[in-house]
Amino acid sequence: MKKIEAIIKPFKLEDVKEALVENGIAGMTVSDVKGYGRQQGHSELYRGAEYVVDFLAKIKIEVIVNDEDVDSTIAVIVESAKTGKIGDGKIFVTPVDEVVRIRTEQRGSEAV
């Protein structure tokens, strides 16, 4: 199993969620996060003063999938989150050694 973490623009959340559900992803965790990459933030004017906003609002989506579903899940996220502009986000894939469903004590793929 693998954990896929996608950092995306907030306004793309609904598109990504719908695309994942259509492709059989039953559950996900969504978090509001802040950060920056190559964008390095941006400047804003507020009451005549210029402020540098270093950290930009992003959404982090986390899903656990079986190894054979990794490539298709990544493709779905890329297709639904991509705007073609800087700051579209990143996807990270890490191995998952064990999953346990607390309610039923199921383990492994059954727990996902």
In tens, the pLDDT along 70-101 reads 999 999 999 999 999 888 999 999 999 999 99
In a domain, 61, yes or no: yes
* pTM of the full structure: 0.85
Q: Give yes or no for residue 40 having a pLDDT over 70.
A: no
**CATH number of the domain within which 17 lies:** 3.30.70.120
CA 17 to chain centroid: 10
pLDDT at 41: 61
CA torsion sign, 18 to 24 to 29 to 34? negative
SS3 99: coil
Going by DSSP bridges, is the β-strand pair 29-35/56-65 parallel, antiparallel, or unpaired?
A: antiparallel
Look at residue 53 and tell me whether its pLDDT is greater than 80.
no
Instruction: Give the residue numbers spanning the domain of 75.
Output: 2-95
Residue 8 in domain:
yes
Q: How many domains does the structure of the chain reveal? A: 1
Residue 25, in any domain of the structure: yes
Residue 100 lies in a domain: no
The Cα–Cα gap between 107 and 22 comes to 25
Q: Is residue 90 part of a domain?
A: yes
Quick one: how far is CA 24 from the chain centroid? Answer: 16
